[in-house]
Chains A and B, each alone.
Chain A
């Protein structure tokens, strides 16, 4: 778009002690001071939207690595002023080529802390609160305080966790409990960004089957006919490590462990006349490292922050809901709406409120379920959290849970307790929320 924007007034002699640079938000204000052709009806130009963005909006960034550094810098420069960041990693020397908030002196320090300090020093007026640890350390109350969550993660597991947590957080009585989740991801020259409104639009779990499976080699190839340096490294880590170290767990962050694997893999490579086993490759294979490209991170982070800005300000319509970038052969990008899966184990399935009589046994509850015309299920299995209440199969679990059939429902399940029901006739699961009458 070619829109002429007037040049900002010259920054005349801003004193360094000033909390903000003069005209720090000059360009951003061009968007916020007046509605545009596609702004939302709710958009209130000028002070109201600016004060929300700069004084109220609290945003959480998960991950302070390749994407996280870019995201933090973008958010701070856009005018988000209350930013929190979580990362469980410390800075490695190999991060310095693209994680530009870190310097050689920071190697070994927590990423979250160093990134937060850098941003606060560089962009006055912004508060960045770091947490050095796992996302799983934090509870619902912690996640409840944010307006928006942005993820720049490298693990499927962490994404599944935060996605499930935010879906579970949604309380139908409380609009504030719905936290938009923006997820960015890169893999070499490819990347994607997406917007998830937990329980409303397709969630991360809905799209799990779109993921490429992690590269795995047939174990017999590794054992007998290695042809690639990767086969030798897998042989060392999958077959030799457990054989030699018995119960000692391999720690892929421990350089001594990597060195051992490298030594063993090199010996095997020599035996089979395979070239290319290096220390770096060994680490790359066992940690499943995909080369990170700084420019891909920059593009994906820009898209994520753009979405956060649009959602926070309503200045323009947000992404609906999945954007992918393929930079391997030229530049190709595609936007589409990923649909919700009705049988998604996280956001799919249905919840029913059930009123249970005081005298009801588990058997009575199961009878009620199977007789209920509305649900029509056969042979339901019930659990509460991770605890089986009654399982139809396999035989041992049926036997061990059978005594529960005669127990009173309220002895096993608390008021408001949520029971997970599975049955072959259900597309996935049914959740029962119990109330005793």
Chain B
């Protein structure tokens, strides 16, 4: 058997013993503790000792979704950052890029995810969806169509549904109650 050990300097060897923390866990610790979130975003941990599952609340301070509280659940698995975090929008929201089941159309959550991206990139991306809803990548086709056709009417729909109003038979969640 090859004597690999002689390839290794002892002082170097002593410095390399690693703990039993998973790579995903360490990466999440690094991502989270270096988060610098603006006042419009806040994280909540149901169990502070479980850093892989949490809620992000976005409260836009401008744009047509201004003032609403939008909760997103984040679930990170042990294959992070090879795989992106799983993100769902918790309340039912009238938005071209969110469907009624809470799926989110954000490229970096699926096809454009790369391990160099981090939790900050995802959070900033989500906030951007509220500032600039994108009718070209629709998940809620009706909302996208409304936005494309008449921006003012769309804004009115947003205001109504954010208060818990209904639109075409769908009742949306009130995102103001706190």
The residues of A with any CB-CB pair to B shorter than 8 Å are 40, 42, 52, 57, 147, 156-157, 160, 164, 167-168, 170-172, 175, 178, 180, 197, 199-200, 205, 208-209, 211, 213-214, 216-220, 223-224, 238-239, 242-243, 311-312, 314, 318, 345-347, 349-352, 379, 381, 383, 385-388, 391-397, 400-401, 418-420, 422-424, 428-429, 431, 433
> Please, which residue of chain B has its CB at the minimum distance from the CB of A400?
B48
Binds A, one of B8-16, B151-159, B165-173: B8-16
Shortest distance between the CB of A275 and any CB in chain B (Å): 24
B23 to A205, Cβ gap below 8 A?
yes
Q: List 18 A-B contacts (CB under 8 A).
A: A156-B82, A160-B79, A167-B18, A172-B10, A172-B17, A175-B4, A180-B2, A200-B7, A209-B114, A214-B83, A345-B23, A349-B18, A381-B33, A385-B20, A387-B49, A391-B32, A420-B21, A429-B26
Shortest distance between the CB of B51 and any CB in chain A (Å): 7
> Please, which residue of chain B has its CB at the minimum distance from the CB of A57?
B1
Count of inter-chain pairs, beta carbons less than 8 A:
189
> Please, which residue of chain B has its CB at the minimum distance from the CB of A379?
B33
Task: From known contacts A220-B138, A351-B17, A385-B20, infer whether A157 and B79 are also in contact, taking CB-CB under 8 Å.
Answer: yes
Task: From known contacts A157-B78, A220-B137, infer whether A397 and B51 are also in contact, taking CB-CB under 8 Å.
Answer: yes
Q: Among A171, A386, A393, point to the contact of B21 (Cβ < 8 A).
A: A386
B2 to A311, Cβ gap below 8 A?
yes
> Please, which residue of chain B has its CB at the minimum distance from the CB of A242?
B101
Is B97 among interface residues, defined by CB-CB distance under 8 A?
A: yes
Q: How large is the interface on B (under 10, 10 to 19, 20 to 34, 35 or more residues)?
A: 35 or more
Q: Among A200, A218, A395, A401, point to the contact of B8 (Cβ < 8 A).
A: A200
Q: Which residues of chain B come closer than 8 Å to A211, judged between CB atoms? A: 82
> Please, which residue of chain A has its CB at the minimum distance from the CB of B88?
A242
A347 to B101, Cβ gap below 8 A?
no
Task: From known contacts A40-B2, A157-B79, A224-B138, infer whether A422 and B17 are also in contact, taking CB-CB under 8 Å.
Answer: no
Task: From known contacts A205-B23, A211-B82, A219-B105, infer whether A388 and B49 are also in contact, taking CB-CB under 8 Å.
Answer: yes
Q: Which residues of chain A come closer than 8 Å to B113, judged between CB atoms? A: 213, 216
A420 to B29, Cβ gap below 8 A?
yes
B29 to A422, Cβ gap below 8 A?
yes
B residues 1-56 near A (Cβ < 8 Å) are 1-5, 7-8, 10, 13-23, 25-27, 29-30, 32-37, 42-45, 48-51
Q: Which residues of chain B come closer than 8 Å to A318, judged between CB atoms? A: 2
Is B121 among interface residues, defined by CB-CB distance under 8 A?
A: no
Shortest distance between the CB of B117 and any CB in chain A (Å): 11
Is B139 among interface residues, defined by CB-CB distance under 8 A?
A: yes
Is B110 among interface residues, defined by CB-CB distance under 8 A?
A: yes
B13 to A346, Cβ gap below 8 A?
no
B29 to A383, Cβ gap below 8 A?
yes
B2 to A314, Cβ gap below 8 A?
yes
B21 to A218, Cβ gap below 8 A?
no
